[in-house]
Structure 1
Amino acid sequence: MQRIPVTRDGKRGSEVLLIDSADVVKIDLYRDREYLIHTKTKQYYLDTSFDSLEEWLFEDGFRMLDSTNIVNMNHVKEYDSRKGVVYLGESNSSKEIKTASAARIQKEHIDKVLRMLKISNEHNHEGPSDFDPVAHINSIISESQDTQFMRSYATIQAVAAKKKAEERILHMAYHDSLTDLPNRLLFQKKLNQFFKEADQSDRMLAVVFIDLDRFKIINDTLGHYVGDELLKYVAAKLSSYVTSNDVVCRFSGDEFIILLSNFVHIDEVKNFAKGLSDLFSEPFIYLEQELYISSSTGISIYPHDGTDADTLIKNADTAMYRAKEKGGNTFQLYYQEMNHRSLEQLNLENQLRKALDKSEITVFYQPLVDLKTGSITGMESLVRWKHPQGMISPGDFIPLAEETGLILPIGNWVLRESCIQNKKWEEQGLPLLTVSVNISVNQFHQPGFVKYVQQTLSETGLDPHRLCLEITENVAMKNVSYIMDTLSKLKEMGVQVSIDDFGTGYSSLNYLKRFDVDTLKIDQSFIRELTTDEDNEAIVTALIAMSKQLKIKTLAEGVETREQLEFLIAKGCDQIQGYIFSRPIPPEEFALLVTNQQNLFNMN
C-alpha cells in the first residue's frame, strides 16, 4: 500500500497531506495533467506527477475505466451497465456515494471484478470454513482471455488471500487449537459484551467453571493422544448441551468455562449444572476401552458475585475447587466466605514452603505386621506437619504440596529421614526392619532419581534390602518403559518395591508381572467394607489368590476390626497395617512398641 501526496486546495505552497492509496476510491483528470483524488467522503488535489504514481497504482488495483477517471476496483460495489456507471458504495445507501463513468467496452471486466469481490467479501463475513475464495477467484481469472486486465484480477486475488490469512490468524488468536472452542480471550470479550445486555434487562448471567475429575490419571496412564481425544469429546458434548445464546470455552488444560445468559432464576443454573452428570454418564470409548469421566463445577452469578470478567471467573474457579474438595462429580455455587478460605490456602502454602527449614515436617511410623507370626516386620513412613498452631492433616497439605511442587523436596527429605531412622534403630539393637516410603510421581520422574536413592543409602549406611519404595498403581502405568527401566535399576541395588492402592486405578496384570514387584498393597477402600460387601470380599479374595500365583506378597491397608483380620488370615494375606494393631506413631513410640515385642495375637 502506497501513500499519495495531496493538498486540500491545489495551490502551490499549501500544506501537503499523505493519504493511503487503499482509502482512495477514484482519481479524476479535471485539467490537463491535473488530478482530483477522491476518498469516500472527501476530495483532494494531487501534489505530484501522475507518471510517478501510475505503475504502482495498477499494482494496487486501480484501473482506467474511461478517458477521464481511474477507479480503485476494490471499492466498486455496483455497476449499472445501461447507464455506464460504477458505484463506489451501496446505491441504496442513505449517504451520498461517489460514482465513476465506465466505457461499455469495460463491461465484462467490471462484471468479473464484482463477482470476485463478492466471493471475497461474503466469505470474509462468514468466518472460517473449508471454502477457499482464492480457488474460486482463480477459476474466474481462468475464464478471461484479455491480458490487459489480468493485473486487476491478480490484485483482487492477492487481497482475497490476505483476507483469508488474516481471518485464519484472527480465528487462531481467539480459539483453542485442539477443540476449536473459543479461548479465554474471546470468552472475556464476550462476557464484557453480555454485561451491557444484562444491565438493560432483568436477565442474569452465570459463569460456569468446569474441571474434569481424574483427567490427569487418564492422560498420564493412556497418553496425551487419548487425553486430547477425550478433551475433544468433552468439547463436543458441552457444545451440544448449551443454547445458541451461550458460550463454551476451553479455559486451559482440562478446564472448560461456560457463559450462561438469558435466565431469570438461580434454579435454572442449578438445573443446568445438575444435567452435567447425565451429560457424561455414557463412557468415552477408546480402542474398545470404556473411560468414565465426571466433572467438578463452580458457578458465579453476575452481578451478585462480581461485576467484571476477572472477578466472576476467579470466583467460579474458587467454587469449583470447593466442589472438587467434596469428592467431585458435583457443583458448587460461589459464596463470599470462599475467598477467606482461598486466602487461608495461600497462607498455608507460604508456611509450608518454610516448614522444612523450621523442622516442622516430621515422620510418623505405622507398623507392618506379619500374619503368620503376629510380629512387626517393618513400618510405613507417613509425613506429618507439626504446625505451631497444631498438627495439620496430610489430607490438607499433601494435595497443596503436589499442586505447588513442594512434594519433591518434602518427599526427598522423608526418604532420607526414614533411612536415617531405620539405620539408627538397627544400631540400637532393634530387630532388622524394612521401612516403606511413599514415592510421588514427581519424585519418581525427577532426573537422577535412582542416583539419589543410591546416594541416600550410601550416606545413611542402610542396607538396600531394608528399604521398600511404594509407588501407586497410576504412577506405575505412566511411561511404562521408563518405569520398568527405573524399577530394574532399583531392584539391582537390592531395594524392594511395592504397588500401593492397587485396584483403584487402571490395573494391568501384565505390567504387574513385568515390574517384578515384591508386595501388592490392597487399598483400604476394599478392606473397609470387607465383611459387609460381597463385591469387596470377592475382589480381595481374587487379589490375594492372584498375588500368590505371581509369587508377590500381599499387604492389606486400613485393617480395623477383628472380622476383617480373620477374613484376611483365612484367605492367606501375608501382612496388614491398620488401627487394629497401631495408629501411625512418632519414632520414640514405635521403638518402644518394637522393644516390648508387641504381638498382634497377644493383644487384648
Structure 2
Amino acid sequence: MKSRFDFFTSLNALLPDITYRVAQVRAVLVVFIALFIILTVSALWRGEGEWLLEQTTIILFFLILLKYMSADTSNMVAGMSLWTVTIFASSIAFYYDGLFDTALFLYPGVLIFASFLGGKTIILPLAFYMLFSFYFFAYAISIDLIENAYDVPEAAWRKAADMSLMLLLYGLGIILITHYVKGLLQRLTDQKKRTELIRKDAESRLLFDEQTSLPNGEKCKRDFGSVVLSAHKKAQVVGFIILRMNNFDWINSTLGHKLGDAVLASLSERYIKLEDDSTRVYRTSGIEFTFIKQAPDFESLNDFCHQAIRSTIMPLAISDFDFEMSCALGIAAAPFDGTDFEELRRKASFAVYRAKKDEQNSYRFFENDMKDAIQRKLQLTHELKTAIELNQFELFYQPKVELATNQIVGAEALIRWKKDGNYLLPKEFIPVAEESGLIVEIGRWALEAACLECARWQQAGLHGMTVAVNLSPVQFKRGSLPTHVFRALQKSGLDPNLLELEITESLFIDDPDHVKQQVHAMVERGVNFAIDDFGTGYSNLNYLAKFNASTLKIDMSFVREMVQNPQQQHIVSAIIKMSQVMDLENIAEGVEDAQTAALLREQGCIYGQGFYWSPPLPAGEFFQFVRDQPQAA
C-alpha cells in the first residue's frame, strides 16, 4: 500500500513539470510559426518568391506539430523544430551570400531556444552543425560555389574562424546563464516544497489527533455542515453522538500513560470499523469520541449506539492486562434538536452527563428536562446584566515579554468579574455572556478601559508599550465593532498601532466575508490583529493572509509541556517556522519556567507570555511591575 501511495505521489509531483514542458515547446513553436509567417509576408511584399514554397511548407509542418504534440512527443517536437529552423537558415545562406548572409543571425536565436528547451543533448549537435556550416561556406567560397565578396581568398576562412569563435563565446554565455537560472529556479522550487511540507504538516497536526490518527474536534466541526445538508436532501436525521469513557483516567493514573495510549489505539481501531458511508468517527478530547451518524430514523440510531457500546466494553488484552472499559453515550438529533454544531454538541453533552449518572454503559437522547444547566445559565445572565450596571468588571494585565531582551513590551488585558468578594475568571462567565449577547456591551467596556490604560502608560513614559484585547465572534455579528474600536481610540487618544485585537480561529467559519470587511476597516486605521490560541481551532492558513493577521499566538496547550514532550516541541517549532515564512510575528502563551523560555528563544519565538514572568495583575500593580523591571543595556 505504501509503495502504491509513493508511486502516485511521485506521479502527481511530475505532472506539473510535464505540463510546463509541453507549454515551453508550444511557446517556441508559436514563435517559429510567427517568424516564418513574417518572412513569407516580407518576401511577398518584396516580390521574392524563390523560397515561398519551402517557407509555407515549414509553417504547415509546425502547425501539424503544434496540433498533435503531447507530453510523450514534446522532446521529439522540440528537436525537429530547432533543426528545421537551423537547416533552413543554412540553406538560405548557401543559396545567397554564404558567410555574409543575414539568415545566419538565426543561429544564436536557435541556441537560446535550445537552452530553453533542453540541455546538452540538443545544444551540442546544433552548435557543431553551425560551426561545420561556417567552414563549409568558407570552402564553398574558395572553390567559387558561392560568390566571394572579398578579393583575398583567405578572408572567407578568417571570417569563418571569427564567426565560429563568436558563436562559441555566445553559446558558452548561454550555457552559463541557463545553468545559473536553472539553479536559482531549483532553489526556489525546493524552498517552496519545504514551505508546503511545513504547512501541510502543521495542518495535519492541527486537524488530526496524534495518538489515534483520528480526525479531531475541529475536523468534526468542519465536516458537520456537509453531513447535515446531505441528510436534509435525503429527509434523514443526523445523530450527534458523544461517547465518553468512564474509567480511562484510572488507567492513566495507575498503570501509566503508555498503557493508556495503547488502550486508546485499540479502541480507535474498533471505532473505525463502525465507519461507513453514513458514519464518521472523531476523537474530540482525551476521553471522548464523537460519531456523526446519518440515519433514516431513530431506530437506526438506537442500533448504532448498541454497537458502539459493545465495541467499547469488549475486553482488551494489552501487555499482561485485560481491560474492561465502560462508557456513556449522549445523542442529539438534527433537525429535531437543532442544526447548529455547537448547539447539538452542547445538548449531546447534557445527554451523556445524564447517561453517565443514570446507568453504566448506557445511552440517552437529549430531552428538555436536561435543561437545569440552562436555567443556571439564565440566572448567571441576569447577574451579568447587574454586573454591567454596577461596573463590577476589572481588567488585569499580563506582561508580554520580548524573549531576546527579556524586556516587557506590552500586555494582554484580561477581564475579571468581582462577584461576592471574589474574582471570577473569564471561562466562568464569558460563554454565558456570548450566548446572551451581553459580550457586546462587556467587550465595548473592555476596549475603552484597555485603551485608556495604555494611553496612561505612554503619558507616564512607557513609550511603545502595547495592549492586546480579546474579541469574541459575537462582537463581529452586529457589524458595529469598528465603530466601537475607533471610538475607544478617539476617546483615549491612543495610537492605533499600539492596540492589538486578538481573534480566535473559530471566527473564520461562520461568515468570513462579513468579518473580513470589519477587520480590513480596522487594519486600514493601523490596528493590529493576532490569531489567538493558534493550533487548536480551524487553522486554515489561507485566512491568515485574508484577515491581515500580523501575529500568531501559540496556544499554551502546546507550550506548557514542550520541554518534556518532543511532539509538542515539533508542533511549536512548525508554527514558529510557518510564521517566519509568512512574515508574521509570534508569541507563545503559557510560559511557566526559564527552560521553556530558553527553548522558545532558541527556536526563533519572538515574544512570550506566562506565569514565568508574572500572573495577570491589576492595572496599578502592573504599572509598578513594569517600572521596576531592569532596563535593557
TM-score, length-normalised on structure 2? 0.46
Greater helix content? 2
Greater strand content? 1
TM-score, length-normalised on structure 1? 0.48
